[in-house]
Amino acid sequence: SRPLQGSVLLFWKKTVSISDYRLKASDRSLPAYVVRVLNIWKRMTRFIGPCVLLLVISIFLFDKVTSKMGRSSTPFEEKESNFPYQNIRAALNIRGKVFVVSRNYGTSTKHRCLYSQRANVYSTTNYRFILGSTTAYKRMFLIKFSMRLELLKTGHHKHYNAVMFKQREADPGKLVKLMYMNRKKTCFIFVNNRSSGHERPKCQLMRPARHAHQPLPGDCRRVYNQNCHGEKIRLYRPWCQLLPERWYSSYKNKQKKSYSKKAE
C-alpha cells in the first residue's frame, strides 16, 4: 500500500500547485476561456481533494484488516512457533491408557471413559491402537476395538505431528493433529483436521491414566481454554480405571444371543 499512497500524495501536490497557479491566473491578459477552465478546475479540486484523501485512508485500513485476517487464518496447530509442542511420536509412546478428560464437541454423548492405548508398533509410522469407552446406556464395563494409525506431517511441519485413523484399510480415515503437549507429557490436546483458523476447532484434552485425576497444568489449561472454544463436556471419572473391558465383537455377539433368546 506504500507505493499507492506515494502516488496519491504526488497527485495531491500537483493538484495544489496547479491550484496556486490558477489563483494567479486572473490576469486580464489571459483569454476568457482559459480563465473559465481554470475556475472550473479550482471547483473540481475542492471536491476531488477530500475524496482522494478518503480513498487513501480506506485503502490503508483495508490493507491492515486483511493482513491481520491473513495472519489469524493460520490455525494454532499449524503455526511454526507451536511446532516444538507437537511431537506426536512422543505422545504415542506413552504406555497404558490415555483418557479423554474433556472435549468441546459432541457434548450430548452418553459415552464416558473414552481412552486410547498403544497395542502394536508395525513400523516407525504405523501403529495399532485400542480405543474404548462405556456404552451409551451402561457404565459397568468398557467396550474396546482396535484401529490402525499412520503418522503424518501437515503444513510446514518437518516432524510428525498428526495421525490418520483407519479401522479398515479401505476406509477414508480421519485426520487428527496434536495441537499441544506439555514438556512433562502429562497432557495432550488433539484437534480434528480443519481448513483454517476461522473454522471452529474440535478438540480433545487427553491425559495418561496415572495423571488423569490430577489438577490440569496451567499451560495446558490456557491453550485449551484459549483455542478450544464453546461448550465442553467432562468425559473422565476416577471410576473409569476400575471398569472391566470387553471386545466390541464379543459384546455384539452376546447381545445377539440375548435378543434371540427373548424372541423364542
pTM of the model: 0.72
- More confidently predicted of 30 and 146: 146
Between CA 93 and CA 116 the distance in angstroms is 12
Residue 214 confidence (pLDDT) above 60: yes
Taking residues 2-21, report their average pLDDT. 47
Give the pLDDT mean for 66-93.
84
Report in angstroms the alpha-carbon separations of 249 from 22, 109, 138, 146. 93, 22, 17, 11
pLDDT in tens, 221-262: 999 999 999 999 999 999 999 999 999 999 998 887 776 666
Q: What torsion do the CA atoms of 117, 122, 125, 127 make, to the nearest 10 degrees?
A: -20
Kindly calculate the radius of gyration of the chain based on its CA atoms and give it in whole angstroms: 32
Top-confidence residue, 116 or 25: 116
Region 57-61 average pLDDT: 59
Mean pLDDT of the residues in the chain? 84
Residue 170 banded pLDDT, cuts 50, 70, 90? confident
Q: Which CATH architecture has domain 77-249?
A: Beta Barrel (2.40)
| For the chain, percent of residues with pLDDT exceeding 90 | 62
pLDDT at 118 over 80: yes
Q: Is the pLDDT of residue 16 over 60?
A: no
Q: Where are the domains of the chain?
A: 2-72, 77-249
Query: From CA 132, how far away is CA 247, in angstroms rounded?
Result: 9
Is 226 in a helix, a strand, or coil? helix
Which candidate, 124, 186, 128, 130, places its Cα nearest to that of 153? Answer: 124
Instruction: Give percent of the chain above pLDDT 70.
Output: 71
> Rounded to whole angstroms, how far apart are CA atoms 98 and 250?
23
Whether residue 166 is predicted with pLDDT greater than 80 in this model: the reply is yes
Q: Is the pLDDT of residue 23 over 50?
A: no
Q: Which single residue is written with the C-alpha cell 476447532? A: 201
Count other C-beta atoms under 10 Å from residue 214's C-beta.
Answer: 11
Residue 85: count of CB within 10 angstroms of its CB:
19
Residue 63 pLDDT grade (very low, low, confident, very high; cuts 50, 70, 90): low
Over the range 245-255, which residues count as b (16 or more CB within 10 Å of their CB) and which as e? ebeeeebeeee
Residue 45: per-residue pLDDT: 63
Higher confidence at residue 44 or residue 102?
102
